[in-house]
Amino acid sequence: MEHYMRLDRAPFDMIKSGRKTIELRLYDEKRQKLNTGDIIIFTCTDDETDVIRTKVINLHKFRDFEELYANLPLLEKMATLTHRL
């Protein structure tokens, strides 16, 4: 399944260059539809013709920000959330 999300220029460019491999989002109604193997198409907010296709390779869910921050260093060493196609 394909999902569409927007990113500001700085994080968009970091994903595009491979320097950013994890995208953090609240697990809201839209994100609850994500599954491993899905495709996320990121559009840059300042140039809608600039897009990146990524594949979800893992999902990490946390109860709150405290739990997320406690596990963030571990996440950096684990499989990444998105992988550029």
pLDDT of amino acid 23: 86
Helices (H), 18-79: 65-77
* Number of domains forming the structure of the chain: 1
pLDDT of amino acid 74: 52
- pLDDT over threshold 50, residue 21: yes
> In this structure, are residues 51 and 41 in contact, taking their beta carbons and an 8 Å threshold?
yes
Residue-range definition of the domain harbouring residue 64: 2-84
- Mean pLDDT for the stretch of residues 44-54: 96
- Looking up residue 8, the CATH number of its domain turns out to be 2.30.130.30
Q: What is the pLDDT of residues 54-85, one digit of tens each?
A: 999 988 888 887 888 787 765 454 444 444 45
Q: Confirm whether pTM is higher than 0.85.
A: no
